Amino acid sequence: MDIPFTTPTSFVRHKQRVHKKLIILYIFFGWQIAFAQAEPETNTLTLNTALKRATEQNPSLKVFKFRNIALQGQMDTAELQPAYELGIGAENFSGTDELRGFSGAELTVSLSSVLEMGDKRNARMGIVANSRSVIDAQRQVAALELLGEVTRRYVDVLAAQAQSMLAREANELANQTLNIVEKRAEAGATPDAEVKRALAAAAQAQLTLLSTQQQLIYLKIALAALWGDTAPGFSNVEGDLYHFGTDVEFETLFEKMEKNPAILIFAAEERLKNAEIRVAKTQSKADINWSVGVRRFQANDDAALVAGFSMPLFSSRRNAGAISTVRAQREQIYVQKEAALLRMHTQLFRAFHNRRQAILTAKKLRTTIIPALSDALEETQTAYQSGRYGYLEYVSARQELLSARRTLIESAAAALTYGAEIEQLTAEPLAATQYGKSIEFSGSVK
């Protein structure tokens, strides 16, 4: 079916309506974008600065300070010797006949305590000391997870900046296409429907630009939240989205992963369980309760020393269950360590190969696909302006190029994100030049 062309007169009226709609759309979207960009941000953020702020200010790491203070209190208690007790007793008073009143009473003042057997005091202190080692390892794990999250969100912002720039270019390209279509329509070389389609495409490009800018604002807020800020104090982040650093073999990465604090924490927990077993064994050795004092006999005003001791029987038999329980808990730690190693091996393998695939995709897009599509768009635009190609071919070439550039940004961001996951699993940076700057990824973990 032939598409009727507009006459010059009808086209002028149509162009006036189109321009009125465009003015309304541009005023609305322009106000929205101006509002979205109204941020009190003036400086550029680097990854090193973001990592430093997060490790110093993130609330989740501050809890370990108070846990250490609590442990110090437990250590002060564990170091204490058994307490002394002062006892006062009275016997043979308020009875009958000769024992009426206090005339025949016996008054005793005594001092008593406990002799701890089996080195219980050092065993208690050992539990607290090993508990501190566990907390230190947990802090390293939490700090490493935080650094990984900071890096991932930093990459998200870096990619969102690139997507925002691409959306701005796509918006300009859509407006350029609209101008070309309008000129062809004025010359009677294209139908009225193509002008409407170009107008719709320009409006959609404007919407996409607004959406990417709003997404960028959200991602910057999410990044700033990692060091406790509710609003970002930076305008953009610095880094090279397409610099992937030096590749490392999987076997080397796996060897480093075995030294990850998430694995070493099991060794700290094992030492803690050994300390608990030692405490449980000391409970099998009964403590000796002793007392010494003076007894006064009211009947003849004489005084004498009194002393005594006591100890529970069959303590080792009664404590066997507690020892078995702690030993079972220690064996459970061995199993949990093996399970964690297997799980982390799978995560490392997935991140390693996905990173390689993302890097391969990004390099192929940059070196081959996007240059070819750029040349194709330029040639298609020239052919469309000369009437050799239709609007569909022109728009398709433009969309293919934009789609390839979006895929490039997504692939580059995925490569850096997988790299951050590998760094978190190995507790070491992949390369000193990762993200375009020298990054001390694990320097603040300890």
Does 99 score more than 50 pLDDT? yes
Whether 309 is covered by a domain: the verdict is: no
Report how far apart, in Å, the C-alpha atoms of 393 and of each of 168, 344, 383, 429 are: 22, 49, 10, 46
How many Cβ atoms are within 10 Å of 441's Cβ, its own excluded? 25
- The string of pLDDT tens digits covering residues 395-429 is 889 899 999 999 999 999 999 999 989 988 888 77
Q: What are phi and psi of 312, to 5 degrees?
A: -70, 155
Supply the Cα-derived Rg of the chain in whole angstroms. Answer: 39
Euclidean distance between CA atoms 326 and 273, whole angstroms = 7
201 vs 387 pLDDT, higher one: 201
Q: Which CATH number characterizes residue 220's domain?
A: 1.20.1600.10
Whether 332 is covered by a domain: the verdict is: yes
Least confident of 73-77, 262-266, 307-311, 313-317: 313-317
Whether 299 is covered by a domain: the verdict is: no
What residues contact 76, with CB distance under 8 A and at least 6 apart?
A: none
Q: How far apart are the first and last CA of the chain?
A: 74
> What is the pLDDT, as a whole number, of residue 440?
36
Over residues 306-319, mean pLDDT? 76
272 vs 429 pLDDT, higher one: 272
Distance of CA 307 to the CA centre of its chain: 63
- The string of pLDDT tens digits covering residues 153-185 is 999 999 999 999 999 999 998 888 888 888 878
Over residues 64-93, mean pLDDT? 81
Whether 379 is covered by a domain: the verdict is: yes
Euclidean distance between CA atoms 347 and 343, whole angstroms = 6
Euclidean distance between CA atoms 417 and 428, whole angstroms = 15
- The string of pLDDT tens digits covering residues 124-154 is 888 888 888 888 888 888 888 888 899 999 9
Q: pTM of the entire structure?
A: 0.72
> What is the pLDDT, as a whole number, of residue 97?
60
**Cβ atoms 325, 368 nearer than 8 A:** no
> What is the pLDDT, as a whole number, of residue 41?
44
276 vs 402 pLDDT, higher one: 402
Euclidean distance between CA atoms 359 and 341, whole angstroms = 27
Does 365 score more than 90 pLDDT? yes
91 vs 182 pLDDT, higher one: 182
> What is the pLDDT, as a whole number, of residue 219?
94
Does 430 score more than 80 pLDDT? no
Domain count, the chain: 1
Q: Which structural domain, as residue segments, surrounds residue 43?
A: 9-81+116-284+319-436
- The string of pLDDT tens digits covering residues 325-351 is 888 888 888 898 899 899 999 999 999
What residues contact 364, with CB distance under 8 A and at least 6 apart?
A: none
Picking from 421, 419, 40, 25, the residue whose alpha carbon sits closest to that of residue 241 is: 419
291 vs 98 pLDDT, higher one: 291
> What is the pLDDT, as a whole number, of residue 94?
66
> What is the pLDDT, as a whole number, of residue 314?
72
Confidence of residue 434 (pLDDT cuts 50, 70, 90): very low
Element (H, E) at 44: strand 44-45
Whether 89 is covered by a domain: the verdict is: no
Mean of all residue pLDDT scores within the chain: 79
Whether 107 is covered by a domain: the verdict is: no
The percent of residues above 70 in pLDDT, for the chain, comes to 83
> What is the pLDDT, as a whole number, of residue 317?
72
Whether 87 is covered by a domain: the verdict is: no
> What is the pLDDT, as a whole number, of residue 414?
94
- The string of pLDDT tens digits covering residues 18-67 is 444 433 333 333 333 333 333 444 588 988 889 888 888 888 888 888 88
| Residue ranges in 231-319 assigned as alpha helix (H) | 250-257, 261-282, 315-318
Strand residue runs (E) in 182-298: 236-237, 288-297
Whether 277 is covered by a domain: the verdict is: yes
